[in-house]
Amino acid sequence: MQFGGTYLFTATREELWRALNDAELLKAAIPGCRRLDWVSESALEAAISVNLGVSRPTFKGDLTLSNVRPAQSYTLSGRGRGGLLGLAGGSADITLTDHDAGCVLDFDASVSASGAIVKLGRKLLGASAQRVIDGFFERFATAMRREVRSLRDDN
């Protein structure tokens, strides 16, 4: 599955960069995030509980930053393990650019999965993927005490 988005934050590029590297701010923006810790300069470990209605499995995963250009861009790659549900993985290219009203964050993500999570993932994310992504960035901006808006429909 492919996802993407463009968001305008009322923050400078440097403020947004610092926030994107702040595990506590990211944790506040991820529903069900129980743990998000830096384990090295370019790697995080996470534990996220996902509400699937009848069950609430916890996915454990590893996130790695690569192609890092400070305050400009990076690639975030991750792999999650959901026990009997299977594996999920993906990567996102994130780019920050200055804008008169703040900073624009562009991202392009690709996600893959195996096992039972493939069926669940398509049902949960399929039509509502953009709503999930928008919700993350809205919570992230709130945690930053900034405003954000999607530029997806702007020309």
Question: Per residue in 111-125, pLDDT tens?
Answer: 776 665 555 555 555
Percent of the chain surpassing pLDDT 90: 57
Q: What residues are paired with 54 via a beta bridge?
A: none
The runs of H, that is alpha helices, within 11-128 are 13-20, 23-29, 117-125
Q: Between the CA of residue 112 and those of 2, 30, 78, 82, 115, what are the distances in Å?
A: 9, 19, 10, 13, 11
SS3 state of residue 1: coil
CATH of 2-150, one of 1.10.3710.10, 3.40.50.9100, 3.40.50.300, 3.30.530.20: 3.30.530.20
pLDDT at 18: 97
For 3-56, how does the pLDDT look when each residue is reduced to its tens digit (9 = 90+)? 889 999 999 999 999 999 999 999 999 888 999 999 999 999 999 887 766 667
The answer to whether residues 6 and 134 touch, using CB atoms and an 8 Å cutoff, is no
The answer to whether residues 1 and 110 touch, using CB atoms and an 8 Å cutoff, is yes
Q: What residues are paired with 148 via a beta bridge?
A: 9
Confidence of residue 155 (pLDDT cuts 50, 70, 90): very low
Structure tokens at 63: 């996130």
Residue with tokens 């400009």: 72
Report the pLDDT averaged over residues 138-143. 96
Taking residue 53's Cβ as centre, other Cβ atoms within 10 Å add up to 6
